[in-house]
Amino acid sequence: MMLIDSIKTKRTLVIGDIHGGLKALKQVLKRAEVTNNDTLVFLGDYVDGWSESPQVLDFLIELRGKQNCIILRGNHDELLQKYLETDTYNEMWKKHGGESTIKAYESISEQKKRFHIQFLKSLENYHLDDKNRIFVHAGFTNLRGVTSEYFPKLLYWDRTLWEMALAFDSRIPKDSHFYPPRFLLYEEVFIGHTPVTRIGEKTPVQKANIWNVDTGAAFKGSITIMDVDSKKFWQSDCVCDLYPNEIGRN
């Protein structure tokens, strides 16, 4: 652990997708000078990509015991849970990051696997804070918000909220019939799931009141931590540079 003990002001820090990149996670926590006073909100996808998926889970479990951590469920985390529980997997998962995770778990004891299953089961689908800011891995589809989502899996699978935000015309006033109702429910929405590198960006992107903090760690991007109040952010090196002998999801 590389946390710095201090009496700094308490912050709420949101962390984007990690995808097995433990070296990058430790690096960015140090760069952000994270302290035990900070609340950390992890947006999901801790596994699949780089070789240290089991170690990332161990790290998060230990960290959660030391400070306030809100650890959300990502789609890749659910896929890993299913694999650990059933020893079966969808070939699509294997092609999209799961292969490195399967290999990593070959050397993990059955006892540790069961421990990780319990951790994965404990993950939350979303977090709503006292300032009406919502944190969720992918987004939500229901016009009444996350608590009314008919299929909870959509909270960590569906991309339509971000796709709508990308296509949104910011000139439309909020009182217009054409203003997306989902944008009015929460003060701000913080998501991961869809790397901003897909639109040629390397840092967190805001569209309407949606903040995307997935900066492509699984591919050729970095892990990002952002202060949700000030919007100041810190980034690791490109994760691919920290694992030079691996391909990640590239």
pLDDT tens digits, one per residue of 75-129: 999 999 999 999 999 999 999 999 999 999 999 999 999 999 999 999 999 999 9
Give Cα separations from 165 to 52, 125, 169, 182, 230 (angstroms). Answer: 33, 21, 9, 10, 21
The reported pTM is 0.95
Indicate if the pLDDT at residue 1 is higher than 60.
Answer: no
Q: Which of 86, 30, 40, 89 is nearest to 62 (CA)?
A: 40
DSSP assignments along 148-167, one per residue: G-SSGGGGGT--HHHHHHHH
Task: State the pLDDT at residue 6.
Answer: 45
Domains of the chain (ranges; CATH) run 12-242 (3.60.21.10)
Q: Return mean pLDDT, the chain.
A: 96
Indicate if the pLDDT at residue 232 is higher than 90.
Answer: yes
Indicate if the pLDDT at residue 203 is higher than 70.
Answer: yes
The predicted model gives 15-19 an average pLDDT of: 98
pLDDT band of residue 9 (cuts 50, 70, 90) is confident
Task: State the pLDDT at residue 5.
Answer: 46
